[in-house]
Structure 1
Amino acid sequence: MRAAGFQARVNELPSLRSIRSTQGVPEALASCHTAMIGGYVLEGHVPAEDVRKLLAERPEAVGLAVPAMPLGSPGMETPDGQREPYETLLILKGGGTRVFARHGQAAP
Structure 2
Amino acid sequence: MNWILLIIAGCFEVAFAACLGKAKEATGMEATYWYIGFVICLAISMLLLVKVTQVLPIGTAYAVWTGIGAVGTVLIGILVFNEPATFWRMFFISTLIASVVGLKVVSN
TM exceeding 0.5:
no
Q: Which has the higher strand share?
A: 1
**Higher relative contact order (Cα pairs below 8 Å, separated by 6+ residues):** 2
Q: Which has the higher helix share?
A: 2
Query: Normalising TM by the smaller chain, what interval?
Result: under 0.3
Q: Highest Rg: 1 or 2?
A: 2
Q: TM-score, normalised by structure 2?
A: 0.25
